[in-house]
């Protein structure tokens, strides 16, 4: 756990260059100016980089010759023409999705411009063509490489640009109806009114080549299933390799930046992708593991931000785990004085404070206030104006560090007690019968015994419940645990103080005894009703009495229907799906639940919920408290010990051992000109600036959106400081500070160059998941599509070199953005399908709200990895392929995982040798349906495959259950819904269709 490691760090006052944890080079004179020199020009991009773009050609367009199609002109250096506001009104927007701002400016675009043959593809598959019939040869199944297709009129987009798969694709002239056909309805408005029908709002891409009839008439909306009714000529396939590939982008970044040290000394530098394996060296800006931005060059004015509509946001994961080879955070202790802060804006001492006056005063980088340097902190400046102790003080030279907080930062001016964990087990009939209670009790014995040392000091308590609550006295002096029953759940109280929360090691014998007895005590129970709110209330009361914060682990299998506060009724109603009222399915019941969240946050009581439903549980309501207290919600549908036990136990172990801070409050400060306006996450807000979290663990991330107040200075850039006050698991009050500096530019091209697609999609995912609480899903999806089109149209208009209107030009940094966006709209919460359970949708919505960038990336683009042809003799892990059915082979074996679900898919023609090696069975037909783990066989392939799977389960925040599916078996449907490049199983367009739709929208915007 990272925050523990640095306790033993050498005292800063003694540190010298080359000290302890600083990595090579840090102690020595920096090769380039560090933070004191932020006023200087950004160091990247001294020369205008060569733009890298991707072209998508439309029908009737001859693609540019290979050379010109790929080598784009440099980005303009003069200000791009402004997009006239009249043409670009903001259009219908969610309040929180109002035109975001953000430019990026400093990605290093070293290397040659992307040169590669242009790619062209045949028309898209599966689309009715409303235009003239195509006369080209059917292209399906033919890679485009090397096949001239001259003269074949085709309708459908043609891509040119960088080769996505390495094979040359010669460009073909495509014939098709001119795009200058009848203007679309709503033309001239960036956000044409929503199409009246179809939740998706997707035009069939077949019309892409036809006249642009507009989305209105007969638009089936690609979302709800296939547009079966549309007539058209047989579809032709566009080579899927010709559109931008996420797996390729990931691989390219790994090749380019993988294995390298990423130093954070350059303002506005775009970090490697989250999927890339790199090492971070903190040299004045927070590691991208802690903070990632949607763009690293902010637009200098609000007008520019509005014009491009690229959201300006940071995704902050304050407790992110660091790899072993990176230095844990240093702790600064100024004793009773406490942290040094700006008198005006209260920002903490950091690399952005400029020392002046011979070191006697400093100017705040956030508000420009000039402050006196406290006497104890005084230090002379060297000839460069830098303090002589620059490298000895983390708060002067690092992006991230901690301060020991003083009493002023503690509740009631009292140092906190160490947090406590309370295990609260539903012992109603279902849980006893399924064997779950016994499973939990057995596991807790080993789990608590093997707690990592850093949390072994934590106190623990135990409660069981059904309609009433049972508290246990497990004081070490007792020979037997004592049970106390509270049956009046209306006014919850804790019947014992002494002996309820105890040190595990001291009370181990009594606790063992208790855990042994619990399953037997309730073995004969007939009670099937449970309470829920009183259970949480009991936890809050216990923490209150013990004057501590902590976490409740609640294990529950049914909706609380017993007569008690928070009693719930089944309000599931599939008829609401795709109606104005669908949002009510996601809205929690108010009243007592809302109040309970507030009480939990005030006490620092985090709630983790482990649910084992066999039917609807109203997760929207039950998970409301966890989702406001930094807690996690785990769900095991139709739980069976044999098939789901291990999955659940792995989750529980991971959860208990997570690094975590309690009773936290976070503030994000910014330099003048912009400020944090929206916060998305498992958090609670009492006012507009303080983010309160009962707890925050290493996997929870807050997404913070920024808006302009004023113009930003290109010279000084934009600074942000995230300060998180919290209590460690040992009960120490700390301040964790993360600083990040971004560039500012009046050039939109800088913004687009410095975009971070994975962060952008994290922002959109969270803002959409919040929006569906208040708006019809149809509106939310339309806004997502419109904003996608708008961002890309703005790039095209202002940043791309002139080209034919029929070309889709994507900024290099955003070229796979449409795949993610399309996948987002097909996620359970957003897709609007009656086939999905309301609880599953609500659960995923809440999960998304707390996710960091790695998690949303993986969720929205699952890894599909062929395992039948792995080289067992190489160390390297097998490489994933694109997430589409096209990549599957009948004789193959593929693993698919998205961080929450995992499938091993077996083609129907899997060779018997493969089945023998993996399953020890003679053929696929012998495979049992419900197998959920691979047998341990001692052969190279089995070892390789199992270690690959185990590695993934270990690496992800959640454990995953392995589902084994055979091609064409019924459960295969579950697997197929994760093939996100294909048409959605529950609705939603294929990637290709979506790209074409977006292209059409862009053209409309540009007309």
Q: How many residues bind Zn ion (CB under 5 A)?
A: 8
Report the residue from 345, 457, 641, 932 that binds Zn ion according to the rule CB under 5 A.
345
926 binds Zn ion (CB under 5 A): no
* Nearer to Zn ion among residue 68 and residue 354 (C-beta): 354
Determine the Cα–Cα distance for residues 481 and 475; give it in Å rounded to an integer.
8
* Nearer to Zn ion among residue 347 and residue 666 (C-beta): 347
* Nearer to Zn ion among residue 723 and residue 904 (C-beta): 723
Which one-letter DSSP state was computed for residue 351?
A: T
Binding segment for Zn ion among 308-316, 336-344, 462-470, 968-976 (CB under 5 A)? Answer: 336-344
Residue 637 CB burial class (10 angstroms; 0-12, 13-18, ≥19): middle
Which one-letter DSSP state was computed for residue 299?
A: E
Task: Give me the least distance between CB of 340 and Zn ion, in Å please.
Answer: 11
Tell me the per-residue interface mask from 863 to 892 with Zn ion, x by CB under 5 A, - otherwise: ------------------------------
**For residue 516, what is the enclosing H or E element?**
helix 504-521
Which one-letter DSSP state was computed for residue 581?
A: G
370 binds Zn ion (CB under 5 A): no
Task: Give me the least distance between CB of 342 and Zn ion, in Å please.
Answer: 3
Tokens of 885: 């059915």
**For residue 331, what is the enclosing H or E element?**
strand 331-332
Cα distances (angstroms) measured from residue 657 to each of 448, 654, 848, 923: 10, 5, 22, 41
Cα 417-418-420 angle, rounded to 5 deg: 115
* Nearer to Zn ion among residue 169 and residue 347 (C-beta): 347
- With the C-alpha atoms ordered 258, 260, 264, 265, is the resulting torsion angle positive or negative? negative
Task: Give me the least distance between CB of 40 and Zn ion, in Å please.
Answer: 21
Task: Give me the least distance between CB of 370 and Zn ion, in Å please.
Answer: 9
Token pair 């992800």: residue? 956
Binding segment for Zn ion among 152-160, 346-354, 464-472, 612-620 (CB under 5 A)? Answer: 346-354
Tell me the per-residue interface mask from 664 to 703 with Zn ion, x by CB under 5 A, - otherwise: ----------------------------------------
Report the residue from 15, 34, 164, 342 that binds Zn ion according to the rule CB under 5 A.
342
Tell me the per-residue interface mask from 112 to 151 with Zn ion, x by CB under 5 A, - otherwise: ----------------------------------------
Task: Give me the least distance between CB of 361 and Zn ion, in Å please.
Answer: 13
Determine the Cα–Cα distance for residues 797 and 805; give it in Å rounded to an integer.
10
Report the residue from 39, 79, 344, 940 that binds Zn ion according to the rule CB under 5 A.
344
Beta bridge partners of 661: 696
Q: Which of residues 348-367 bind Zn ion (CB under 5 A)?
A: 364, 366-367
b/e map 72-89, b = 16+ CB within 10 Å: beebbeeebeebeeeebe
Determine the Cα–Cα distance for residues 398 and 871; give it in Å rounded to an integer.
43
* Nearer to Zn ion among residue 369 and residue 407 (C-beta): 369
* Nearer to Zn ion among residue 369 and residue 879 (C-beta): 369
Binding segment for Zn ion among 337-345, 532-540, 605-613, 835-843 (CB under 5 A)? Answer: 337-345
Task: Give me the least distance between CB of 339 and Zn ion, in Å please.
Answer: 13
Phi, psi torsion values for 898, nearest 5 degrees: -130, 20
Question: Could you give the 3-state DSSP secondary structure of residue 431?
Answer: helix
**For residue 991, what is the enclosing H or E element?**
helix 991-1006
Binding segment for Zn ion among 127-135, 193-201, 339-347, 795-803 (CB under 5 A)? Answer: 339-347
Orientation angle between helical segments 912-919 and 940-955, nearest 10 degrees: 60
Determine the Cα–Cα distance for residues 499 and 37; give it in Å rounded to an integer.
58
Task: Give me the least distance between CB of 409 and Zn ion, in Å please.
Answer: 18
369 binds Zn ion (CB under 5 A): yes
* Nearer to Zn ion among residue 43 and residue 689 (C-beta): 689
* Nearer to Zn ion among residue 236 and residue 669 (C-beta): 669
Which one-letter DSSP state was computed for residue 613?
A: -
* Nearer to Zn ion among residue 349 and residue 463 (C-beta): 349
Cα distances (angstroms) measured from residue 894 to each of 315, 865, 930: 32, 5, 18
Determine the Cα–Cα distance for residues 913 and 917; give it in Å rounded to an integer.
6
Which one-letter DSSP state was computed for residue 969?
A: S
* Nearer to Zn ion among residue 347 and residue 554 (C-beta): 347
* Nearer to Zn ion among residue 721 and residue 747 (C-beta): 721
Token pair 């989250």: residue? 274
* Nearer to Zn ion among residue 37 and residue 341 (C-beta): 341
Binding site for Zn ion (CB under 5 A): 342, 344-345, 347, 364, 366-367, 369
């Amino acid at each position: 756990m990272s925050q523990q490691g640095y306790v033993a760090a050498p005292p800063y006052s003694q540190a010298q260059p080359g000290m302890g944890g600083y990595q090579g080079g840090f102690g020595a004179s920096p090769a380039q100016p560090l933070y004191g020199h932020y006023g200087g020009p950004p160091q990247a991009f001294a020369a205008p980089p060569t733009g890298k773009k991707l072209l998508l050609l439309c029908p009737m367009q001859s693609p540019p010759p290979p050379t010109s199609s790929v080598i784009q002109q440099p980005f303009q250096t003069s200000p791009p023409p402004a997009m006239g506001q009249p043409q670009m009104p903001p259009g219908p927007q969610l309040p929180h999705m109002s035109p975001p701002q953000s430019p990026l400016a400093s990605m290093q675009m070293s290397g040659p411009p992307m040169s590669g043959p242009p790619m062209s593809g045949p028309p898209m598959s599966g689309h009715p063509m409303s235009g003239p019939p195509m006369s080209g040869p059917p292209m399906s199944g033919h890679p485009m490489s090397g096949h001239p297709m001259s003269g074949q009129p085709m309708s459908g987009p043609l891509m040119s640009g960088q080769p996505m798969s390495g094979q040359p694709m010669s460009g073909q002239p495509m014939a098709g109806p001119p795009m200058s056909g009848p203007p679309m309805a709503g033309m001239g408005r960036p956000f044409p009114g929503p199409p009246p029908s179809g939740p998706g709002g997707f035009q069939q891409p077949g019309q892409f080549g036809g006249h642009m009839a507009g989305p209105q008439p007969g638009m089936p909306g690609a979302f709800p299933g296939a547009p079966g009714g549309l007539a058209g000529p047989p579809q032709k396939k566009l080579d899927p390799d010709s559109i931008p590939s996420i797996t390729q982008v990931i691989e390219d970044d790994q090749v380019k930046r993988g294995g390298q040290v990423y130093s954070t000394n350059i303002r506005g530098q775009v970090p490697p992708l989250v999927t890339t394996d790199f090492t971070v060296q903190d040299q004045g800006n927070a590691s991208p593991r802690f903070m990632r931005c949607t763009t690293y060059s902010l637009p200098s004015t609000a007008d520019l931000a509005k014009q491009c509509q690229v959201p300006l946001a940071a995704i902050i994961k304050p407790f992110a785990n660091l790899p072993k080879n990176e230095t844990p955070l240093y702790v600064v202790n100024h004793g009773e004085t406490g942290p040094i802060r700006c008198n005006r804006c209260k920002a903490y001492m950091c690399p952005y404070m400029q020392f002046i006056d011979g070191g006697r005063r400093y100017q705040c980088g956030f508000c420009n206030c000039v402050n006196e340097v406290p006497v104890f902190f005084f230090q002379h400046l060297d000839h460069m104006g830098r303090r002589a102790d620059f490298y000895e003080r983390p708060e002067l030279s690092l992006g991230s560090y901690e301060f020991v907080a003083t009493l002023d930062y503690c509740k009631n001016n009292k140092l906190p007690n160490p947090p406590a964990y309370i295990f609260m087990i539903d012992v109603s009939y279902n849980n006893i019968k399924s064997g779950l209670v016994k499973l939990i009790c057995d596991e807790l014995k080993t789990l608590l015994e093997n707690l990592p040392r850093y949390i072994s000091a934590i106190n623990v308590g135990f409660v069981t419940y059904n309609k009433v609550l049972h508290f246990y006295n497990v004081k070490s002096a007792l020979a037997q645990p004592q049970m106390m029953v509270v049956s009046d759940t209306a006014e919850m109280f804790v019947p014992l103080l002494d002996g309820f929360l105890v040190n595990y090691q001291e009370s181990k014998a009594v606790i063992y005894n208790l855990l042994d007895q619990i399953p037997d005590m309730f073995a004969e129970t007939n009670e099937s009703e449970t309470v829920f709110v009183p259970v949480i209330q009991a936890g809050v009361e216990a923490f209150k009495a013990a004057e501590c914060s902590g976490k409740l682990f609640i294990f529950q299998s049914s909706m609380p229907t017993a007569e008690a506060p928070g009693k719930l009724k089944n309000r599931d109603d599939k008829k609401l799906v795709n109606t104005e009222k669908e949002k009510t399915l996601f809205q929690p019941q108010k009243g007592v639940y809302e109040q309970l969240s507030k009480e939990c946050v005030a006490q620092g009581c985090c709630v983790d919920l482990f649910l084992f439903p066999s039917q609807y549980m109203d997760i929207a309501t039950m998970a409301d408290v966890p989702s406001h207290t930094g807690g996690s919600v785990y769900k095991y549908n139709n739980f069976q010990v044999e098939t789901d036990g291990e999955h659940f136990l792995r989750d529980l172990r991971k959860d208990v051992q997570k690094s975590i801070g309690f009773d936290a409050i976070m503030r994000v400060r910014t330099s003048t000109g912009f400020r944090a306006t929206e916060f998305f996450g498992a958090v609670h807000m009492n006012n507009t600036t303080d983010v309160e979290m009962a707890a925050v663990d290493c996997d929870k991330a807050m997404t913070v959106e920024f808006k302009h107040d004023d113009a930003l200075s290109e010279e000084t850039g934009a600074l942000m400081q995230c300060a998180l006050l919290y209590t460690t698991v040992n009960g120490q009050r700390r301040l964790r500070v993360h600083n990040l500096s971004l560039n500012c530019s009046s050039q939109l091209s800088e913004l687009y160059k410095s975009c971070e697609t994975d962060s952008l999609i994290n922002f959109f995912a969270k803002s959409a998941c919040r929006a569906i609480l208040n708006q019809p899903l149809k509106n939310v999806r339309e806004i997502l599509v419109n904003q996608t089109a708008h961002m890309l149209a703005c790039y095209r208009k202002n940043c791309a070199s002139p080209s034919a209107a029929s070309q889709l030009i994507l900024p290099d940094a955003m070229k796979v953005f449409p795949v993610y966006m399309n996948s987002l709209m097909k996620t359970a919460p957003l897709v609007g399908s009656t086939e999905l359970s309301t609880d599953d949708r609500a659960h995923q919505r809440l999960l998304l709200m707390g996710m960091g960038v790695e998690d949303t990336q993986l969720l929205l683009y699952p890894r599909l990895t062929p395992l039948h042809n792995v080289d067992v003799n190489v160390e390297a892990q097998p490489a994933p392929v694109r997430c589409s059915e096209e990549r599957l082979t009948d004789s193959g074996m593929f693993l698919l995982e998205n961080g929450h679900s995992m499938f091993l898919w077996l083609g129907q023609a899997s060779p018997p040798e493969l089945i023998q090696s993996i399953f020890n069975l003679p053929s696929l037909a012998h495979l049992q349906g419900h197998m959920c783990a691979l047998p341990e066989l001692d052969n190279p392939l089995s070892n390789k495959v199992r270690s690959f799977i185990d590695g993934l389960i270990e690496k992800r925040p959640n454990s995953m259950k392995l589902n084994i599916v055979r091609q064409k078996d019924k459960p295969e449907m579950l697997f197929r819904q994760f093939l996100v490049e294909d048409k959605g199983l529950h609705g939603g367009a294929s990637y290709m269709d979506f790209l074409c739709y977006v292209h059409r929208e862009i053209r409309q915007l540009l007309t």
